[in-house]
Structure 1
């Protein structure tokens, strides 16, 4: 069994979905690992990871609108030390995920035809978000 690890930094400009599938695919190809399991972990509590459709941009807009309605900024939250988007961002992260697992075969992620990897930025301000990628396999 072999393993490799990499840190990706994604610079965001506020609430949006940022696809990073090509960056992960390029790194994965360089590891030489053909079969295994890829784990991705977001090191933040106000951003999250998603696997979702990467063909129709309307899907991304609809997802962002749904997350906004599920955890609105005008909610009654006790925690607001970093502003009105702070607690809703934590809730949106909880509703999505901080980590993902993706099987690898033939040196490639076994994503479906229309699937892509996304960082979901849940805050209004720009951030530098870190994602840790870990592959274990042969």
Structure 2
């Protein structure tokens, strides 16, 4: 198994951050057939396979805002207002995703991207582990 860690700066706003290019580069370097596993080792972030730059990223943040409002209802209450929802989000958008790799290329659909989803405005720096398991 080959692995790499990438650093992502999400800043101080809720964000859907495209990490597809980093995943594509890593899969190409690994070559061959296998499985790319993407994992974010944070309790308040997730990995999504989603169409980006068509409004879907904003729609996802809006849907999460409706489902998990940034208000004072959360028992986990340290940090910024509504911080507890960031700890609930990974139950809906898990902290991992796996993508088949064929001939060193991600087998994503035409409009699919790999994205880090981060609602936690208190932690602007994220680590993402990429692992390639070859056949």
Structure-2 residue corresponding to 1:15: 14
Secondary structure of the corresponding residue to residue 112 of structure 1: coil
Size of the aligned set, in residue pairs, is 134
Contact 1:46 1:89 in 2 (8 A): yes
Structure-1 residue corresponding to 2:2: 4
Compute the displacement of 1:83 (Å): 2.8
Counterpart Cα distance in 2 of 1:87 and 1:28: 35
TM-score normalized with structure 2 length = 0.92
Aligned match for 2:102, one of 101, 105, 111: 105
TM-score normalized with structure 1 length = 0.90
Secondary structure of the corresponding residue to residue 133 of structure 2: strand
Compute the displacement of 1:7 (Å): 0.3
What is the Cα-based RMSD across aligned positions, in Å? Answer: 1.4
Counterpart Cα distance in 2 of 1:16 and 1:55: 13
Compute the displacement of 1:61 (Å): 0.8
Contact 1:53 1:59 in 2 (8 A): yes
Structure-2 residue corresponding to 1:51: 49
Matches within 5 A, 1:30-49: 30-31=29-30, 33-49=31-47
Structure 1 gap segments, 5+ residues each: none
Structure-1 residue corresponding to 2:27: 28
* Structure that is richer in strand per residue: 1
Secondary structure of the corresponding residue to residue 81 of structure 1: coil
Counterpart Cα distance in 2 of 1:112 and 1:127: 30
Counterpart Cα distance in 2 of 1:132 and 1:125: 21
Moved more, 116-125 or 61-70: 116-125
Counterpart Cα distance in 2 of 1:47 and 1:4: 23
Contact 2:80 2:122 in 1 (8 A): no
Runs of 4+ in structure 1 off by over 3 angstroms are: none
